[in-house]
Amino acid sequence: MATNIKAVIFDWAGTTVDYGCFAPVKGFIDGYKNIGIEITNEMARKPMGMLKMDHTREIAKMLDQEITEEQIQAVYKDFERILFSNIENHCDVKDHIIETVAYLKAQGIRVGSTTGYTSEMMARVLPKAAENGYAPEFWTSPDQVGKGRPAPYMIWENMKEFGLTDPREIIKVGDTVSDILEGTSANTWTVGVVMGSSELGLTRKEVAALSADELEAKKAVVRQTYYKAGADFIIDGMDELPSVIAQINAKLKQNAAHLLLTPGPLTTRDSVKHAMLTDHCTWDDEYKEITTGVLNDITNLSANDDYATVLLQGSGSYAVEAMINCLCKPEEKILFLVNGEYGKRMLQIAKDSKHSFDVLTFDEQKAACPKKLAEKLEQDKEIKTVVFVHCETTTGLLNPIEALVKTAKSFGKTVLVDAMSSFGAYDIDMVGWDIDALASSANKCLEGLPGLAFIIAKKTLIEASKGNSASHSLDVYDQYQGLYAGGGKFRFTSPTNILLALAQAIEEYKKEGGLAGRMGRYMANHRTLTEGLAKLGINPIVDPSEQSHIITTFELGNMDFKTLYDHLKTKGFIIYPGKLTALPTFRIGNIGNVFPEDMLNLVNAFEAYLGESSANGFMDKIESQLEATHSKIA
């Protein structure tokens, strides 16, 4: 993982020396004139930055007449002769180069270079430029590496010289399209410089003669050219480079790898993130086919063809809300089993939509009890549907899904489950247990990205739900029509990139060995975590018999959450605050692309924290009191 910029690779003419990049232009124009062909300044400049022979051929491609190989050789011969006659006069060092190079060296950033000049030409440029104060640590030429721009080989040569392996720690700076393309093909950061560039193609005198508006207009064209080529940054002059480096370093720091030990979004695999790099449109047949594949895959994870998967744009709560509001008729009474925040959220949904409902509340640290459910259903015959959370992510508590479903079913009730954080990590036999519907999302145990939720429901139930929904966007029946009758068509804009990521996440799931593989890893993660923390005296609040292998709530004890959080973050771990009202706690999720070794490292980070905080506890307290006093004064 790239941490900070370690090298800058400059182009030569037009970037660091030869303001306006004039040395090669005359050679091309006169070379072509000598075979009887007039080319414009613009044509002469367009391929600038390429190896000069490649450049000569590129110009030939722009002509509307056939050029023979003999003619090309003749033009090139003239070009070389003219270039060599004046190249030393074009080794003036551009503005801010000397200070910028000094700045880079002071920062320990290596200074390399690539060029479109041959080694023979460089032999003339190097001493002159050095005389004028500019000498990068390394240079290479296309003839030394086999191929010039836009191929990345010259950049690779610089990397080899500096012992660097990560192109995201390198910036390529240039003044032509081929410079930007060279950087892009090497996957470095790319910077286009506007003033004194070949793209601007003006002498200092010509620049000075322009009005401010005229100059701005010309610069805008150059900026557009760099932008189109894919430049990461576009600067006027080299004095802006330190600020570009600071911006990139900030980005790299912000992107530094953290393991998210939270209940979602979670740490995802690179392949899942990379799957997002293609843009698709919602109604494209190929895209719809991918969507249909995802629907079928999800259905088959827990159910069969009597069920359908309805994907919904949004986070998990959107699916929970849609499931409750569409699959239950407003006047039919719902019984919610509640023992945590996600259960409460469902109550809020029912309240807001004015559903008839009742609730059975259990202790936050205790699983819902099938016997109590049976008693309730015995008492209240009006209840039509039973809804509960499988894994209550607030605590990590696992409700006994099979027993609860069987109880409800023995009374002939419809059963809807919030299986958000358990789907994919527990065996949920929808067919065998006769579950009517469940809701989950892409960004929990399927390890996809946030933005897509889904409901798996009996097709008969969905088809009977027509007209139930008071919400247009969250209408499960309508969405089902699009996705199934419409062959994979989302009604409204689909989060296309997120869907592609989900399709990849499902591939990864299969690759890991499906349910058995994923469940096995999560169990190993959970065991490593809880056993490790237990040795440090940190214990879960839920009884092991009712504890999930997804997320665990631990007693905070004497630890301070803020300093613990900050300490773990510096070690690359993000944990979650507790959500219990009664007890100070914190939570650790062990789902996502995390492995038992990560859990061991986390336990070690806890140990280090405990060691430090017992040593520094006193000073920390004093400091935080001081801080509090300061902020009050401020």
Ligand X SMILES: *Cc1c(COP(=O)(O)O)cnc(C)c1O
Closer to ligand X by CB, 126 or 404: give it: 404
* Measured distance CA(239)–CA(96) in Å, rounded: 6
Beta-strand runs (E) in 291-413: 307-313, 333-338, 357-361, 383-389, 391-392, 397-398
Closest to 245 (Cα-Cα) out of 182, 171, 188: 171
Question: Applying CB under 6 A, does 418 fall inside the site for ligand X?
Answer: yes
Scanning 30-38, 134-142, 188-196, 414-422 for contacts with ligand X by CB under 6 A, the matching segment is: 414-422
Query: How far does CA 204 lie from the centroid of its chain?
Result: 43
CB of 390 to ligand X, least distance (A): 7
Q: Report, in Å, the least distance between residue 397 CB and ligand X.
A: 10
Is residue 197 a contact point for ligand X (CB under 6 A)? no
Closest approach of Cβ 167 to ligand X, in Å?
35
One of 47, 316, 424, 482 touching ligand X (CB under 6 A)? 316
Among the listed ranges 71-79, 115-123, 311-319, 503-511, the one in contact with ligand X (CB under 6 A) is: 311-319
* Percentage helix, strand, coil for the chain under 3-state DSSP, each rounded to 5: 50, 15, 35
CA–CA distance, 47 with 45 (Å, rounded to integer): 6
DSSP 130-166: HHTT---S----HHHHS--TTSSHHHHHHHHHHT---
Residue 558 CB, shortest distance to ligand X, in Å, is 29
Q: Judged by CB under 6 A, which of 320, 456, 474, 559 binds ligand X?
A: 320
Whole-number Å distance between alpha carbons of 188 and 5: 10
Residue choice 15, 299, 385, 421 for contact with ligand X (CB under 6 A):
421
Stretch that binds ligand X, among 43-51, 87-95, 211-219, 314-322 (CB under 6 A): 314-322
Q: Residue 483 carries which DSSP code? A: I
Interface characters, 438-457, with ligand X (x: CB under 6 A):
---x----------------
CA distance readout (Å), 252 to 1, 5, 169, 184, 245: 9, 9, 9, 17, 10
Q: Give me the least distance between CB of 411 and ligand X, in Å please.
A: 24
User: Considering only 108-116, 131-139, 223-231, 313-321, which stretch makes contact with ligand X by CB under 6 A?
Assistant: 313-321
- CB-based contact 197:175 (threshold 8 Å): yes
Q: Which stretch binds ligand X (CB under 6 A): 181-189, 312-320, 347-355, 582-590?
A: 312-320
Taking the complex as a whole, how short is the minimal distance between the CB of residue 363 and ligand X, in angstroms?
17
264 contacts ligand X (rule: CB under 6 A): yes
**By the rule CB under 6 A, 342 interacts with ligand X:** yes
CB of 317 vs ligand X, minimal distance in Å: 3
> Is residue 263 involved in binding ligand X (CB under 6 A)?
yes
Name the residues annotated as catalytic: 11, 52
Site stretch for ligand X (CB under 6 A), options 164-172, 225-233, 315-323, 469-477: 315-323
Of positions 23, 125, 301, 420, contacts ligand X by CB under 6 A: 420
**What's the CA gap between 312 and 439, in Å, rounded?**
10
Which of 267, 315, 395, 399: binder of ligand X (CB under 6 A)?
Answer: 315
Residues 6+ apart with CB under 8 A from 232: 189, 190, 191, 248
What CA–CA distance (Å, rounded) separates 404 from 391? 13
Nearest to ligand X of 151, 551 (CB atom):
551
Nearer to ligand X, 10 or 576 (CB): 576
Residue 551: burial class (beta carbons within 10 Å; 0-12, 13-18, 19+): buried
The residue length of the chain stands at 634
Helices 69-86/52-62 angle, 10° precision: 130
- For 66, other C-beta atoms within 10 Å of its C-beta total 7
Among the listed residues 448, 456, 378, the one whose alpha carbon sits nearest the alpha carbon of residue 417: 456
How many of the chain's residues bind ligand X (CB under 6 A)? 13
Least distance in angstroms from the C-beta of 314 to ligand X:
8
Options 317, 385, 494, 585; binder of ligand X; rule CB under 6 A? 317
**Contact residues: ligand X, CB under 6 A:** 263-264, 315-317, 320, 342, 389, 393, 418, 420-421, 441
